[in-house]
Structure 1
Amino acid sequence: MTTAIRHRRRLAAVAAALVALSGLLVNLAVSASASVPPTPSGWSLVWSDDFNGSANTLPSSSNWIIDTGHSYPGGPANWGTGEVQNYTSSTANLSLDGSGNLRITPLRSSSGEWTSARIETRRADFKPADGRILRIESRLQMPNVTGNAALGYWPAFWALGAPYRGNYWNWPAIGEFDIMENVNGINSVWGVLHCGVNPGGPCNETTGLGASRACPGSTCQSAYHTYRFEWDRSVSPNQLRWYVDGQQFHGVNQSQFDATTWNNMTGHAGYFLLLNVAMGGAFPNALAGQTPTAATVPGRPMMVDYVAVWQSGTGTTPPPTDPPGGVDARSTIQAERYQGQSGTIVETTTDSGGGQNVGAITNGDWLRYDGVDFGSTPATQFRARVASGAAAGVSGLVQVRLDSPTAPPIGDFALASTGGWQSWRTIPANVSGVTGTHTVYLTFSSGQPADFVNVNWFTFSTS
């Protein structure tokens, strides 16, 4: 979904039945299964979300980050694609439907402003272990709108390389897998790879290396279909493959790329997944001129039944799932897996084990972790993996608070420069004995208005 002007012939639109609901025209979706399918034999489940929950609520904040506005802070305007909508966290644009589906609904205000929604997984480490296959899949129904009423609709299910977070100017080198893209209500699914340099390069940017086909059986707009992407490290050269309803329609392999391009795309910590419905922008405009138009009808949602990631074989064990009600306080809690934050960014780390860290932390910033289970044996020590490239004289406190960011700290430690923002140290601090389940806040206090710490992970213990 980054800049992508694709020169393709326009396919004939298929008529769709429309109904009025709450003053808006919306699609009558085919019933979804409301659950993730059983794990295929020979595979293991890495991560999933079935979007079960109460109607008119937001998707799980433990799984998803909601993007808002017209760009990432400091990133390219209009999300780098020219799309016109304002992304919001309103349940009018983004909500569970109460029947096991996520609903992303573009709307147009009385003043003509378009709003919609875009979410991305908190996890950004989806990558197959050596010798394994990663399978990323979603069952969804595209917005049920066609013809002139659909001009400008741009639904997508896709993945971006982890180094994009906190940078926003390293596309397309870090890689992009467009698992499902569609524009203007055309009965077709596009699968596209973006990589290398822009313009041109081995992925022919800004177009990318893509293929498309009509959805099998029912149209893409009138029914749910299953869209799958596989990253295969079990064969040499490695392969990337795209499927709709189990039928492969696109593929590339490692031998098509120079070593630097392939490594830039696959050698980092992994990918995060995104779901969104954009309005207007380079891709729909390339096929239909300036979109959306006065004829474009708002209120047609993309309906998502589930998203799941599997890995073949036994391979590398995926991170353990959190226990019921939260996370074990004595486990290694990755800093970037917060449920809330203020003032920070997430970036790729060079610390042992790779992955990401939380950075750009300064006075007054905080991180929130819900449902941290300390058990019945009091935890008396806190340890955090931290780094600092702060200038001489700049230091601050890393504090632990329970249940409120303004509660008295139960423990803290001071930190000055460790020699660089990726020069990591594990620092302990005593905490007052804690039992039970709490919301844990990491808060940061400094006498200088400058970044003073990065955090990779933390944990609690009895000694």
Structure 2
Amino acid sequence: MRTHQRARTTSALITLALALTAVVTGGVGTAAAAPDPGPRTTAATLVWSDEFDGPAGAAPNAAYWNHETGNHGWGNNELQNYTNSRANSALDGNGNLVITARREADGSYTSARMTTQGKVQPQFGRIESRIKIPRGQGIWPAFWMLGSGFPQTQWPDSGEIDIMENVGFEPHMVHGSLHGPGYSGGNPLTGSYMHPQGWSFADDFHTFAVDWSPGSITWSVNGVAYQTITRNDTRGNPWVFDQPFFMILNVAVGGQWPGYPDGSTQFPQQMLVDYVRVYSQDGTGSGGGGERAGTITASNGICLDVAGAAQANGTPIQLAWCNGNQAQRWTVAQDGSLRAFGKCLDVADGATAAGSRVQLWDCNGSGAQRWTHVNGSQALRNPQSGRCLQPVGRAQNDGTRLEIADCDGSSVQRWILP
């Protein structure tokens, strides 16, 4: 299922009397769960969702979802061939996406793996899905995320957030994990959640979520939190989760962790997904009022970076692979400025010509430090010059400096803000 090898990898916000939070540092936390109460009432703002409404047999929305295909084992000696066939992923006409794992006539297995890479890549907030998982020995359903820099930033440096994983030999248990540099594969930061009655999670829908903020992630099932992992729990290794991530839904067959189907495993097996939703962290919505802080990423997932983490006036601004450093933490201020280290993203000398470089400079309220995030194109436009931010030479590479250029709506001028 993954792009790497491991032995064991491993909502709306509501307060429940039964809630229990377990903070883990590579160990396992378990908590009793309440039955899924269904739709929730929340003060947070829904900023994106796919409700999977559509006719039976329709393909998932291609504006949101990619299909990854292949039968190369996916780093875990898995058996399935992932396809883009409607036999393996389709809407059911009742508001669900159905991912179907099948045993074909020749004895091979097919399934589907869908990602939002390059299309929907949230950073922080509540990431939530209501799912009825499949069952059976060797069946491995998951709802998870990878850092937007992947594969240019290789796993595990890219970061992985497993919101929900289940292996068929543990029908009553789901797992939530983090993988990063120094804590990956068979040694992640992880916790487990047991059904309160010991029943199979495949018997009904359940809501799986993470509440994700800078330096902290909390997992929940049906609104009951069962573990929190923070940057202090990484065993002294880097925390790589303060960046955009894309979402993944898939059902694997076989692999080193779940083992392989046996005579008890029935096919086909289906994972039903009622919805996937993203809520804002602070209730403002994406692009809402108030200041927001985090990484600013280009369309290929690379980060806007202050060169050398220097704080002197005139320090160049560049692209760099996301690393969670302070040099990549930007504040989107209410006055239209973009700030790092308390200084502003500035067009050098207040220039307006195409090709003028950008730099870090003391904030002064000038037009050279004003930026507008354009709806649709996602360009960062400097109103004073009428031009847009892009990498020099239009190259989205590590170390490429930034300039202003004529706005053209191209992907190299697309920026994702916190």
TM-score (norm 1): 0.57
- Asked whether the equivalents of residues 173 and 193 of structure 2 are also in contact (C-alpha less than 8 Å), the reply is yes
**C-alpha displacement of 1:58:** 1.0
Aligned pairs for 1:5-404 (under 5 A) are 5-6=7-8, 37=39, 40-41=42-43, 43-70=44-71, 77-122=72-117, 123=119, 125-128=121-124, 134-143=125-134, 145=135, 150-164=136-150, 166-167=151-152, 170-184=154-168, 186-197=170-181, 201=182, 203=183, 205-217=185-197, 219-233=200-214, 238-257=215-234, 261-262=238-239, 265-268=240-243, 270-285=244-259, 291-293=260-262, 295-314=264-283, 317-318=286-287, 336=299, 346-350=300-304, 387=391
- Unpaired runs of 5+ in structure 2? 11-35, 290-296, 306-316, 322-375, 378-385
Find the counterpart in structure 2 of residue 428 from structure 1.
406
Q: Deviations over 1:85-110 (max 9, x none)?
A: 11111000000000000000011111
- The count of residues paired between Structure 1 and Structure 2 equals 307
**C-alpha displacement of 1:261:** 1.0
Letter in structure 2 aligned against 1:155: P
- Asked whether the equivalents of residues 388 and 421 of structure 1 are also in contact (C-alpha less than 8 Å), the reply is no
C-alpha distance in structure 2 between counterparts of 1:230 and 1:64, whole Å: 22
- Asked whether the equivalents of residues 391 and 412 of structure 2 are also in contact (C-alpha less than 8 Å), the reply is yes
- Asked whether the equivalents of residues 387 and 418 of structure 1 are also in contact (C-alpha less than 8 Å), the reply is yes
Letter in structure 2 aligned against 1:127: Q
Secondary structure of 2:146's partner? strand
Structure with a larger share of its residues in strand = 1
Letter in structure 2 aligned against 1:192: G
Q: Deviations over 1:276-303 (max 9, x none)?
A: 0001112102xxxxx1335532211000
Q: 1:457 aligns with which of 371, 391, 414?
A: 414
- Asked whether the equivalents of residues 126 and 211 of structure 2 are also in contact (C-alpha less than 8 Å), the reply is yes
- Asked whether the equivalents of residues 185 and 221 of structure 1 are also in contact (C-alpha less than 8 Å), the reply is no
Q: Deviations over 1:322-351 (max 9, x none)?
A: xxxxxxxxxxxx995xxxxxxxxx442437
Letter in structure 2 aligned against 1:348: I
- Asked whether the equivalents of residues 350 and 422 of structure 1 are also in contact (C-alpha less than 8 Å), the reply is no
C-alpha distance in structure 2 between counterparts of 1:319 and 1:104, whole Å: 34
Secondary structure of 2:276's partner? strand
TM-score (norm 2): 0.63
C-alpha distance 426-252 of structure 1, shift in aligned 2 (>3 A): same
- Asked whether the equivalents of residues 50 and 101 of structure 1 are also in contact (C-alpha less than 8 Å), the reply is yes
Q: Deviations over 1:353-382 (max 9, x none)?
A: 9899xxxxxxxxxxxxxxx89xxxxxxxx9
Secondary structure of 1:301's partner? strand
- Asked whether the equivalents of residues 125 and 355 of structure 1 are also in contact (C-alpha less than 8 Å), the reply is no
Q: CA RMSD in A?
A: 3.8
- Unpaired runs of 5+ in structure 1? 9-30, 71-76, 129-133, 286-290, 321-333, 337-345, 357-371, 374-381, 390-414, 431-439, 443-453, 459-463
